[in-house]
Amino acid sequence: MDDSRFISSAEALPTPFTTICEAPSNIALIKYWGKSAPQLPKNTSLSFTLDSSITRTALNFTPQKSTSFSFEFYFEGVLKPEFNPKLEAYFNQIRAYIPWIENYHLLIKSQNSFPHSSGIASSASAMAALSVGLMEMERKLTPSLSETACSEKASFLARLGSGSAARSIEGPLMLWGKTEYLKKSSDYYAIPLKADINPVFTTYQDTILLVDKGSKPVSSTQGHQLMHKHPYAAQRFKQAKNHLKELMPILKSGDLAGFMQIVESEALSLHAMMMTSKPYYLLMKPNTLAVIEKVWNFRKETRIPLCFTLDAGANIHLLYPLADKKAVLELVESDLKNYCNQGDYLIDQVGRGAKKV
Ligand code: PMV
């Protein structure tokens, strides 16, 4: 694809502009693990967009005389200059696509709905909220931009900040990466899966067990890097492709046994890649494994379709239909919360994506 379609030719306006946007986190069912520059995935991924695990970002654009962009970043009310190098690098990557930004000073004020240091990766919701806010400004400068064009460019901009952030723009299911199963799919941005989704998946629940709140010994950026010379990389990309092929009809039929089998296999394969990288590493904790066994036992005993998935970390996402919420939350309260750091967990569900507040 030629990404020139994302280069704006809008002229900056001499008036200030403020917008507040919210974007959720997302949890991958088919994992993205391995990429090539510029942040293009080695395989197609598919995720549930979450609902209440969100970042809310206020953007305040002030026109400035000098034609050199500047910004300030506040997180939860506190000026955070330590984030500037990362943001600077991000703006350098995207300024070619939003040249109008050169004429503004940007004040960014962000906050998360989920607790600080919960072990929940906030880069997806943070980069998505920022990108949607930038697109609100571009929409003001280019009123003829369609909703779809705005969403696709927001996803495109978010992807350049954090790959998985591309999937936090819409919902409840987002697909990122070119695949033969969807003509409109792209490596450059994510698109919502709209047609033929079984209703069971439109209200799916995600309860996030906070097993470990500490920082990870190996970041996702390093993990992606290690896929370059990974002995099983080619096989892993093939597996993800096959899993997607199997999952597409399941999302339509609502075959929950098939769904759980693919989702759990994806989670364990992701961690298997980490354990077989050079150097190898481990992000699961003993309590992660203890909970996985509990989930399997509960499923066997009750026949309730509860399954798990994992991000690049020790925390567990419990995925289950809305109809089973009571039974699963009883299990969490009576047993699984004992495996969580300070007994903490978050109750979330699939959501519809980013929005203007
Ligand atoms: O978006 P990144 O670069 O932090 O990578 C995230 C990768 C996983 O969360 C492990 C999987 C995924 O598809 O979200």
Longest dimension (CA), the chain: 68
CB atoms within 10 A of CB 253: 12
Identify the band that residue 117 occupies on the pLDDT scale cut at 50, 70 and 90: low
Give, rounded to a whole angstrom, the gap between the first and last alpha carbons of the chain.
33
Q: What are phi and psi of 277, to 5 degrees?
A: -75, 165
Among 106, 107, 108, 110, residue whose Cα is nearest residue 125: 110
Which of 27, 123, 164, 239 to mutate for ligand 1's pocket (most ligand atoms within 8 Å of CB)? 164
Q: Whose CA is nearest to atom 9 of ligand 1?
A: 311
Kindly state whether residue 62 falls inside one of the protein's structural domains. yes
Same domain, 146 and 278: no
Q: Give me the mean pLDDT over the 57-77 stretch.
A: 93
**33 Cα nearest atom in ligand 1:** 7
- Label residue 333 left, alpha or beta by phi (over 0 means left) and psi (-120 to 50 means alpha): alpha
Same domain, 274 and 184: no
Identify the band that residue 222 occupies on the pLDDT scale cut at 50, 70 and 90: very high
Asked if pLDDT for residue 353 goes beyond 70, the answer is yes
Identify the band that residue 195 occupies on the pLDDT scale cut at 50, 70 and 90: confident
Q: What are phi and psi of 281, to 5 degrees?
A: -155, 170
Say what the pLDDT of residue 98 is.
97
Separation of CA 218 and ligand 1 centre (Å): 13
Asked if pLDDT for residue 90 goes beyond 90, the answer is yes
- State the angle between helix axes of 233-253 and 256-275 in degrees (0 to 180), rounded to the nearest 10: 160
**Ligand 1: lining residues by beta carbon, under 6 Å:** 28, 31-33, 45, 123, 162-164, 220, 224, 270, 311-312
Same domain, 218 and 152: no
The CATH number given to whatever domain includes residue 28 is 3.30.230.10
Cβ distance 172 to 202 under 8 Å?
yes
Say what the pLDDT of residue 247 is.
98
Identify the band that residue 122 occupies on the pLDDT scale cut at 50, 70 and 90: confident
Residue at a domain's end among 197, 231, 259: 197
Q: How many domains does the chain have?
A: 2
DSSP 146-161: -HHHHHHHHHHHHHHH
Identify the band that residue 48 occupies on the pLDDT scale cut at 50, 70 and 90: very high
Asked if pLDDT for residue 1 goes beyond 80, the answer is no
Kindly state whether residue 357 falls inside one of the protein's structural domains. no
Separation of CA 270 and ligand 1 centre (Å): 10
Q: Give me the mean pLDDT over the 13-29 stretch.
A: 96
Same domain, 261 and 168: no
Same domain, 189 and 257: no
Cβ distance 273 to 232 under 8 Å?
yes
pLDDT digit string, tens, across residues 95-107: 999 999 999 999 9
- Give 78's contacts (C-beta < 8 A, 6+ positions apart): none
Same domain, 185 and 285: no
Same domain, 149 and 251: no
H or E element that contains 128: helix 123-141
Kindly state whether residue 355 falls inside one of the protein's structural domains. no
pLDDT digit string, tens, across residues 174-191: 999 999 989 999 999 999
Cβ distance 233 to 34 under 8 Å?
yes
Kindly state whether residue 173 falls inside one of the protein's structural domains. yes
Which residues constitute the domain of residue 94?
Answer: 3-197
Among 118, 49, 44, 39, residue whose Cα is nearest residue 266: 44
As a whole number of angstroms, the distance between CA 91 and CA 104 comes to 13
Among 15, 5, 6, residue whose Cα is nearest residue 137: 15
Separation of CA 43 and ligand 1 centre (Å): 12
- Residue length of the chain: 357
Alpha helices in the chain (DSSP H): 84-94, 123-141, 147-161, 220-226, 233-253, 256-275, 286-302, 325-334
Separation of CA 105 and ligand 1 centre (Å): 31
Same domain, 113 and 240: no
Same domain, 266 and 188: no
As a whole number of angstroms, the distance between CA 298 and CA 173 comes to 27
Kindly state whether residue 93 falls inside one of the protein's structural domains. yes
Cβ distance 110 to 117 under 8 Å?
no
Say what the pLDDT of residue 67 is.
73
β-strand partners of 105: 62, 70
**164 Cα nearest atom in ligand 1:** 1
Separation of CA 56 and ligand 1 centre (Å): 20
pLDDT digit string, tens, across residues 265-317: 999 999 999 999 999 999 999 999 999 999 999 999 999 999 999 999 999 99
Which of 273, 311, 316 to mutate for ligand 1's pocket (most ligand atoms within 8 Å of CB)? 311
Separation of CA 223 and ligand 1 centre (Å): 9
Higher pLDDT, residue 67 or 141: 141
The CATH number given to whatever domain includes residue 230 is 3.30.70.890
Kindly state whether residue 328 falls inside one of the protein's structural domains. yes
Q: Which residue has the tokens 């930004």?
A: 101
Cβ distance 43 to 115 under 8 Å?
no
Same domain, 186 and 206: no
Kindly state whether residue 354 falls inside one of the protein's structural domains. no
Residue at a domain's end among 197, 215, 247: 197
As a whole number of angstroms, the distance between CA 223 and CA 210 comes to 21
Angstrom CA distances, 96 to 3, 9, 90, 102, 266, stand at 11, 10, 11, 10, 36
Asked if pLDDT for residue 115 goes beyond 80, the answer is no
Which of 33, 247, 266 to mutate for ligand 1's pocket (most ligand atoms within 8 Å of CB)? 33
**220 Cα nearest atom in ligand 1:** 4
Same domain, 51 and 137: yes
pLDDT digit string, tens, across residues 126-168: 999 999 999 999 999 999 999 999 999 999 999 999 999 999 9
**26 Cα nearest atom in ligand 1:** 14
Say what the pLDDT of residue 167 is.
98
Identify the band that residue 214 occupies on the pLDDT scale cut at 50, 70 and 90: confident
Separation of CA 295 and ligand 1 centre (Å): 23
**221 Cα nearest atom in ligand 1:** 3
Separation of CA 312 and ligand 1 centre (Å): 7
Same domain, 161 and 250: no
Separation of CA 303 and ligand 1 centre (Å): 30
Residue at a domain's end among 165, 197, 229: 197
Higher pLDDT, residue 332 or 120: 332
Kindly state whether residue 340 falls inside one of the protein's structural domains. yes
